[in-house]
A and B are shown apart, each in its own frame.
Chain A
């Protein structure tokens, strides 16, 4: 029970103060993990690799992983809930008021500035992944083929992800 409570408070704190998602959570988590003596450094690196290469939000994966290692399935569920809770509560609180103001000209003006900025952020994410992803002609070809498929047909992205995994296994 103490273990669960300790997991809950740690991950709630991380969820409450980590602005910017996955990678921000990572630095907070490293701090907590070291402070509480949960994992050794090399295991922490392995854990990051697992969280980045499995489906789902990275922060969520980190929480589940650490929670499981500390206190089994109960620990995994506790940590996952705790990391998600602050954002969800704030978001719902925000939503109570937000939709009443959404159509106002001032609010729409704010969003006219926000939208290109968000797209810029997403482009930056693509750039950062691209720097790691494009290692040879195989990865470039996979990306080009995906772009052509997306431009011409309505294919669900999941098929492209699965197809590229198979292509990766065959050609890399």
Chain B
């Protein structure tokens, strides 16, 4: 297919983010592996590092993380129209599915079969996130210092319940103080 990774069509942006949204249950970081797969591996619109950077930015402004990240990637590729196409794609499955659920399916939601399906999905979600992390770690966690930053961020959330925005801010400040000098030497 003659697709241009530098300038995807608006329709492509819409459908890619619609797919990501439609197949992720849980939002936010759960979307990371799917979005990476579509946007980095399949479409090659952005690099591994950019993907992580955009997620950091999506997390750093208020609102819906996945939506913010989609907006940024859409904007990066096609300006404001691209941002809107990506954002509408991200919102479409939510709106359609929730409307259907609210209108017709609410009574069936507690059924054992549906609950069993969700139990299976939750397990798969953990596997997806862990494997995406494993693949990303090669480029983003390539020194002891950066590993310590990652582990520190993990523990700040899991053990200390620090707000994610503060963890991101601390990571950025530490990056600036630790890595800028080295960058100049290179």
B95 to chain A, nearest CB (A): 5
Q: Are A120 and B27 in contact, CB atoms less than 8 angstroms apart?
A: no
Q: Which residues of A contact B120 (CB under 8 A)?
A: 138-139, 142, 164-169, 171-172
With contacts defined as CB atoms under 8 Å apart, how many contacts are there between chain A and chain B in the complex? 385
Main secondary structure of the interface of B (DSSP, over half): helix
Most buried by B among A46, A80, A87: A87
Contact of B163 among A20, A25, A56, A83 (CB under 8 A): A20
- Docked pose: A152 CA to B172 CA in angstroms: 35
Q: Which of B18-69 contact A (CB under 8 A)?
A: 19, 21-34, 37, 49, 52-53, 55-59, 61-68
Q: Give the number of chain A interface residues (Cβ < 8 Å).
A: 96
Q: Are A113 and B171 in contact, CB atoms less than 8 angstroms apart?
A: yes
Render A19-45 as a binary contact track against B, CB cut-off 8 A, 1 for contact: 111100100000000000000000000
- Interface: A4 (CB within 8 A): no
Q: Are A80 and B175 in contact, CB atoms less than 8 angstroms apart?
A: no
Render A137-172 as a binary contact track against B, CB cut-off 8 A, 1 for contact: 011101110110011000011101101111111011
Contact of B28 among A17, A58, A110 (CB under 8 A): A58
Q: Which residues of A contact B156 (CB under 8 A)?
A: 120
B78 to chain A, nearest CB (A): 12
- Interface: A114 (CB within 8 A): yes
Q: Are A109 and B126 in contact, CB atoms less than 8 angstroms apart?
A: no
Q: Which of B116-138 contact A (CB under 8 A)?
A: 116-133, 136-137
Q: Are A157 and B128 in contact, CB atoms less than 8 angstroms apart?
A: yes
Q: Which residues of A contact B132 (CB under 8 A)?
A: 122
